[in-house]
Structure 1
Amino acid sequence: MKNLFLLSMMICFSSVIGQSKIPSAESQIKTALYACPEMHQEGAKVLGYNQKGELVTLREGHNGMICLASDPNREGISVSCYSDKLEAYMARGRELIAEGQTEVEKRDTRKQEIDAGTLMMPKEPAAAYMVTAKKEDHDIESGVLKNSKIRYVLYKPYMTGAETGLPTKPGAPGMPWLMDANTHRSHIMITPATDN
């Protein structure tokens, strides 16, 4: 009897471990669209993860916006949506990480490629939107996200504080500032002020 109980507990435990932590395509799409401005949500392309954990297109788009579902292997929830003018830059970053490069190596490789003209970046600022939340604030079945935070980013290589008139360090809460000024990855950061 004791052995039968242990066997049934092991089967239950192994079935729980074996369950996929990857939400359905519908759930991933709903969550990813939290990062997309409402006027662009209907036509945005959505990238997410199949049940093998591979990044795939979950929904085709037609309006120049690409949304990325949260990586199931990372802590918390982090979804983004960005102009398709940034896709070469974003896709190259994912590719380099998949090849085993560190964040520093990825940054250096993309700099070399941008400077050489082999990795194209937009000539005008291109928008990206990021939404983050804790895992416990995400309903994996429905895709509903609570208590999330958003930030807005405008990418354009080699922007300077003098050119933009922006500070190059964070200032008052919610105030735009220029991060990584005068580098290949310079971007304007806007993080709305919150009460908490």
Structure 2
Amino acid sequence: MNKLLATLLLGGLVISCNTSNKNKGTSNDNSTETTEEIADKKSNLKSIESDQDLIATALMAAPKESRENTKVIGYNMAGEFVTLKEGDSEYIVLADDPKKDGFNAACYHKNLEPFMSRGRTLRNEGKSSDEIFAIREAEVKSGKIKITPGSTLHIYYGPNTTFDPITSQVEGAKLRYVIYTPFATSKSIGLPETPSAPNHPWIMDPGTHRAHIMISPLENKVE
């Protein structure tokens, strides 16, 4: 009787080990499939090589429902600052500069164009960041440049310049948002000057013409 019991127990252990090994093998197979799927997605990516690529990727900074009718400006592949696409929505999109590392496209309300355009002009004149800040500060205070409180800037950015030609999503790119509140302070609008936690809003450049609410990039995928 004892020998029979021992034999049954030994048999059960062998079956259990075999089942465990099979399960491990299945788990490894699934892991391999996941890796292959990731590799397939990578293989579908392409580099930004044309003005149409610049337009498609830049429009990812704009709200989806407005992309078709949104104007796109910026440097073309030849290095000329041009209107890449005409549009009459409430937004203007500034495309990524193909001559610079990484990816950075920005979408902003058309009310901000005088402010943005002035910055580009001063930069082209060779002015430093500090000089541009001081000049626009004075011009906003005098009323020469107007920034409508609540005007929003959407920045679509990342370290890579490859994108999915079907979705136009740039590999690893994220969105962050800037809401302009000229001359606001932490006390006047009730936001801290540093983020309390990831994705929490905070105020940057408080008390100046460039005071704005910052909303950090979300970790989930963006369109």
Q: Same fold, TM exceeding 0.5?
A: yes
Cα deviation, residue 73, structure 1: 2.6
Larger radius of gyration: 2
Cα deviation, residue 143, structure 1: 5.4
Matched, 1:121 2:147: yes
TM-score, normalising length: structure 2? 0.71
Matched, 1:59 2:90: no
User: Are the aligned partners of 2:150 and 2:180 in contact in 1 as well (CA < 8 Å)?
Assistant: yes
Matched, 1:190 2:215: yes
Runs of 4+ off more than 4 Å: none
Matched, 1:177 2:199: no
- Which runs of 5 or more residues in structure 1 are unaligned? 1-20
CA RMSD of aligned residues (A): 2.1
Aligned to 1:30: 56
TM-score, normalising length: structure 1? 0.81
- Which runs of 5 or more residues in structure 2 are unaligned? 1-46
Does the residue aligned with 1:135 lie in a helix, a strand or coil? Answer: coil
CA distance in 2, matches of 1:150, 1:133: 9
Aligned-pair identity in percent equals 39
Q: Which has the higher helix share?
A: 2
1:1-196 counterparts in 2 under 5 A? Answer: 23-122=49-148, 124-138=149-163, 144-194=169-219
Q: Evaluate the alpha carbon distance shift between residue 167 and residue 49 of structure 1 in structure 2; reply closer, same or farther with a 3 A threshold.
A: same
Tell me which amino acid in the other structure corresponds to 1:114: V
CA distance in 1, matches of 2:101, 2:135: 26
Q: Evaluate the alpha carbon distance shift between residue 38 and residue 157 of structure 1 in structure 2; reply closer, same or farther with a 3 A threshold.
A: same
Cα deviation, residue 191, structure 1: 1.0
CA distance in 1, matches of 2:125, 2:103: 23
Cα deviation, residue 56, structure 1: 0.7
User: Are the aligned partners of 2:184 and 2:206 in contact in 1 as well (CA < 8 Å)?
Assistant: yes
User: Are the aligned partners of 1:130 and 1:150 in contact in 2 as well (CA < 8 Å)?
Assistant: yes
